[in-house]
Amino acid sequence: MKGYDKVCPLCGTLNKNLNLEETEGWMECEHCKEKVGFLDYMKMVKVPVYTPEMLTRMAKHPAFAGRKTISAIEG
C-alpha cells in the first residue's frame, strides 16, 4: 500500500501514511478530526465539497471574518 504524508491545512498536523487513492483524495485529520480533501488526488469529484463544519470553520477565519465585517460596514 502506498501511503501519502499530508499536512492538515486546518490545524497543521502531519497525517502520515494516508491512502488517498482509495478515499479519492479525502482524509480525516488525526488531530482535529476534520475531513480534508486534496484536489491533486480527486479523480472522480471535480468540485470540492465542503462539510458544514468546514464552512463554519472558514467563516470563523480572521480573513473571512474581517471581509464580512468590512462589507457589513460598507453596506
Binding region for Zn ion (CB under 5 A):
8, 10-11, 13, 29, 31-32
Q: State which residue, 18 or 29, has the beta carbon closest to Zn ion.
A: 29
Other beta carbons within 10 Å of 69: 10
**Residue 58 Cβ vs Zn ion, minimum distance, rounded to whole Å:** 14
- CA-angle at 63, arms to 27 and 46, nearest 5°: 40
Question: How many whole angstroms separate alpha carbon 6 and alpha carbon 11?
Answer: 12
**Residue 66 Cβ vs Zn ion, minimum distance, rounded to whole Å:** 23
Question: How many whole angstroms separate alpha carbon 43 and alpha carbon 13?
Answer: 25
Q: State which residue, 11 or 42, has the beta carbon closest to Zn ion.
A: 11
**Residue 55 Cβ vs Zn ion, minimum distance, rounded to whole Å:** 16
